[in-house]
Amino acid sequence: MAFMIAQRAYIKLYLISMVEQRRGYGYQMLEELKEEFKPFGYVPPQSEIYRALHELVQEGVLYRTKHLKGNDPSVDFQEIVLYHFTDDGLEKAELYKKQVKVDLDRCIGMLNKAVADNY
């Protein structure tokens, strides 16, 4: 059992939720998460977001589609990669989330215990 939850798992959790809701692409999700965690002084590194997304693809949870960002190719040629759940992706994702939940609770317990024990 590792000491704390890994950053990777933490980020995957958010990515799954974001794919559940809107159709997002990496860079945008990165920017959203940066904003989200600003109050905590935590800046999720770009590489971790992409690594997490690639892992989720590797694990058969997500698949990728390429699109142009704007609707009019003459205006915007920027390619982006959208992520969607595979056939059994949602199922796998929910299972993963359950496992992470257990770990989150464990970590919260240990941190709260440290506060109770040492202050």
Partner DNA sequence: CTATGAACATTGTGTTCATCG
Partner DNA sequence: CGATGAACACAATGTTCATAG
Two structure tokens written together for 82:
């959208």
* Residues that contact its own copies, how many (by CB under 8 A): 32
* Residue 118 in contact with its own copies, rule: CB under 8 A: yes
Stretch that binds its own copies, among 65-73, 74-82, 83-91, 102-110 (CB under 8 A): 102-110
CA distances from 72 to 25, 26, 76, 81, 99 (A): 18, 21, 6, 17, 42
Stretch that binds DNA, among 32-40, 51-59, 87-95, 101-109 (CB under 7 A): 51-59
CA–CA dist 72, 91 (Å, integer)? 35
The least CB distance from residue 55 to its own copies, in Å, is 16
Q: Toward its own copies, which CB reaches closer, 80 or 100?
A: 100
* Residue 17 neighbours by CB distance under 10 Å: 11
The least CB distance from residue 38 to DNA, in Å, is 15
What residue type is assigned to position 3 of the chain? F
* Residue 75 in contact with its own copies, rule: CB under 8 A: no
CA–CA dist 8, 100 (Å, integer)? 11
Q: Toward DNA, which CB reaches closer, 12 or 92?
A: 12
The least CB distance from residue 97 to its own copies, in Å, is 7
The position carrying tokens 């958010």 is 14
